Structure 1
Amino acid sequence: MNTKERILNISLELFAQKGFSGVSVRDIASAVGVRESALYKHFKNKQDILDSIMVIMKERIELVYQENEVPEVITEDVVQAYKELSLEKLCEISWNLFSLFTKDPLVSNFRRLLMREQFGNEQVARQYGESYLLGVVHKQSKTFAKLVEGKLFREENPEIIALQFYGPILLLFQQYDCNPENEDQIKGYLNEHIRVFGKNYSR
Structure 2
Amino acid sequence: MTDTKESILKAALGLFAVKGYEAVSVSQIAGTLGMTKGALYKHYKNKRDVFDSIFTYVCELDAERSRKSGVPEKEFSEMPDSFSDVSPKSLKEYMLSQFHYWSMDETACNFRKMLTLEQYKTTEAGTLYEKVLTDGPLTYIEDIFREMIIHGKLIKKAQTAGS
TM range (shorter): 0.7 to 0.9
What RMSD, in angstroms, separates the aligned Cα atoms of the two structures? 2.6
Separation of aligned partners in 2, 1:90 and 1:141 = 12
Q: Which residue is equivalent to 2:104?
A: 103
Corresponding position of 1:10: 11
| 2-structure distance, mates of 1:77, 1:107 | 25
Task: State the one-letter code of the partner of 2:82.
Answer: E
Q: In 1, are the aligned partners of 2:20 and 2:114 still within 8 Å (CA)?
A: yes
* 1:81-120 equivalent positions in 2, closer than 5 A: 81-82=87-88, 85=89, 93-120=94-121
| TM-score of the aligned structures, taking structure 2 as reference length | 0.79
Displacement, 1:70?
4.0
2:111 maps to a residue whose letter is F
Residues 166-181 of structure 1 mapped to structure 2, 5 A cutoff = none
**Structure 2: gaps spanning 5 or more residues:** 74-80
Give the 3 Å change call, closer, same or farther, for CA 59–93 of structure 1 in structure 2. closer
Contact 1:118 1:128 in 2 (8 A): yes
**What are the residue-to-residue correspondences of 1:21-100 with 2, within 5 Å?**
21-67=22-68, 69-73=69-73, 76=82, 78=84, 81-82=87-88, 85=89, 93-100=94-101
1:75-98 Cα offsets, whole Å, 9 max, x none, are 93746722xx3xxx8655533321
Inter-partner Cα distance in structure 1 for 2:83 and 2:39:
49
Structure number with higher relative contact order (C-alpha < 8 Å, ≥ 6 residues apart): 2
- Give the corresponding residue for 2:76: none
Distance in 2, matches of 1:138 and 1:66, equals 18
Say how many residue pairs are matched. 151
Show the counterpart of 1:19.
20
Point out where structure 1 has 5 or more consecutive residues left out of the alignment: 157-199
2:155 is aligned with 1:153? yes
After superposition, the C-alpha distances for 1:52-74 in whole angstroms (9 at most, x for unaligned) are 1111111111112222x14445x
Query: Greater shift after overlay, 36-45 or 11-20?
Result: 36-45
Contact 1:130 1:136 in 2 (8 A): yes
Shift of the 62–48 alpha-carbon distance from structure 1 to 2, 3 Å rule, reads same
SS in 2 for 1:76: helix
Q: Aligned-pair distance for 1:148?
A: 2.5
* Percent of paired sites with the same residue: 29
Quick one: distance in 1 between partners of 2:83 and 2:26?
47
CA offsets per residue over residues 11-38 of structure 1, 9 Å max, x none? 0010001101111111101001101111
